[in-house]
Each structure stands twice: as structure tokens, then as C-alpha cells.
Amino acid sequence: MPRKNKLIIAILFLLSIACHNGPQSKKEMEAYLHLPESGGRVKITKGLYTVSMAYRPVELLQGMEESNEVAVFVLDISQKGENPVNFLAADEARFKKAINQLSFNQGETYYAVTASGDRIMPLQTRMLRTFDYTDKSRVLITYPSEVITKPGTSCYFHSPFDGEQYLFKYQHKDLEKIKNLAQNL
């Protein structure tokens, strides 16, 4: 099989994410959020820091959100590509300023941060329910769902459970803002 075809098959496999509408157990949710191929992903390295952003189809996060009218992004932040960055020890105002550079300027932005051995610490109200992570610092960011209906790059996630396709769209300028975040860590 030609290399190009193998690459296409691999990409399609990674985008074929299993979505279902049932509530997730804590164990299932942790396993899903730690799975590298869950959702669309972009990784940026700047200096000592690596910021990896993954989109999580909100259908897989039921029970974590008060409303399912949001899109969820997960940022993994590490130092020198391996050591997690613990923003719980950082200045909260500086951290909020860095995260807000990811804002789409639509509605409110909600976020929390975790680090190894820590629990999610809500920095604003209406936040995700608390549960543990174990490996890296993570920032969970939610946006109003209308953000993903704007023209941009499309990623489709097909659910073998209900046969539906879930569409995620983002714009290049939004990915540029992730670079801005990396520059200001």
C-alpha cells in the first residue's frame, strides 16, 4: 500500500472518535481525556514550553458541563517537553491573562487548571465538576458552541454509537492565539 494511502488511513482512524451520549464514569472520563488521539490536536513549542491543544467533542463530556452548548478544549502544558507546569503555584492574575489570550471574544470563557496530584481548581464560577488528574498540568477551556459554527478548518468526528457526525471548526487566527499563549508563559 502506498505511503500516502497509509497516512490517509491513519488520519481517518484518529478522527474516527467514538462519541456516545451516556454519562461517563470518572474512570472513563480520565481515560478519554488522557488518550492522545481523542479529538483534534495542535502542538506548539516555544522556548522551554510545549503547549498541546486538543478539542474534545462535548458529547463525550456530558456530566462535566452545566450546559452542552459549549465546545471544550484541553491544553497540556509542559516544560522542556516533559515536566508539567504547575500554574497553581503561579500568580493567578498572570495565569488568567495568559489563558484569556485564547478568548474568541464571544461570550464568557470558563477555565480550570490542574497539575500532578492536584484537583481541578475553579478560577471562575459555572466550572467543571472536580475530579483528579495524574500526569500533566491541564487547562480546560469551554466556549459557546456558536464559536465552532463559523467558517474555518473542519474536523469531523464520526460516532459508531449513533451514526452521527460531529463537526468541529476552528480558524487559523485562533490557533495563532495559542502561539501567543506559548510566548507569554
In the chain (185 residues long), the average pLDDT of successive 10-residue segments reads 51 38 48 53 63 54 42 60 52 50 40 38 30 41 44 39 41 50 48
Set of cell numbers at residue 3:
505511503
Per-residue pLDDT, 48: 65
Say if residues 28 and 62 touch (Cβ distance below 8 Å): no
Residue 32: enclosing H or E segment and its boundaries?
Answer: helix 26-34
Say if residues 30 and 132 touch (Cβ distance below 8 Å): yes
Q: Is the pTM of this model over 0.75?
A: no
In the block, residue with C-alpha cell 503555584: 89
